[in-house]
Amino acid sequence: MMTFLLARAGCETEVVTTGAKAIRMAQEGDFDLITLDVDLPDTSGYEICRYFKENPFLSDTPIVFVSGRPCEQDVQRGLELGAADYIEKPFEINDFVFRITSQAKTKNCLSNIFDENTDTNTQRLCNTP
């Protein structure tokens, strides 16, 4: 459902179902945003977030947790690890799309400012593994 909603909003998405695949995909691609669930079959989404934020090539990519664990401690832990947002399931459709696309646009704006300062111009798409 999330992929469908984001596609309708004009985003390209790529989906993986394990933390190991998420790490591999993020290392190989250039994504504007990464969504993570807290509960993954092979590891914790928190561990993946920590890995991404400690990796210099991935640390500036916004991470948004989308999880069915609405406990305030879970939300706080995700944000403390560097996530840009934490969306609790079930979510309101328009709110979900707005929050995801806003984070991707923010990254694009920052990237464009950086690119202008370094005389490069790259076009990025909203990809969310």
Q: Phi, psi (5° rounding) for residue 88? A: -90, 135
Write down the pLDDT at residue 113: 52
Indicate whether 126 belongs to any domain: no
For the segment 31-37, the average pLDDT, to the nearest whole number, is 94
7 lies in some domain = yes
* Domain assignment of residue 93, yes or no: yes
Domain that includes residue 11, residue range: 2-117
Segment 71-89, tens digit of pLDDT = 999 999 999 999 999 999 9
* Cross-strand partners of 105: none
Q: Could you tell me the CATH number of the domain that includes residue 75?
A: 3.40.50.2300
Query: Two tokens at 113?
Result: 């400012």
> How many domains in the chain?
1
Is 35 part of any domain? Answer: yes
- Please tell me whether the overall predicted TM-score, pTM, comes out greater than 0.95 for this model: no
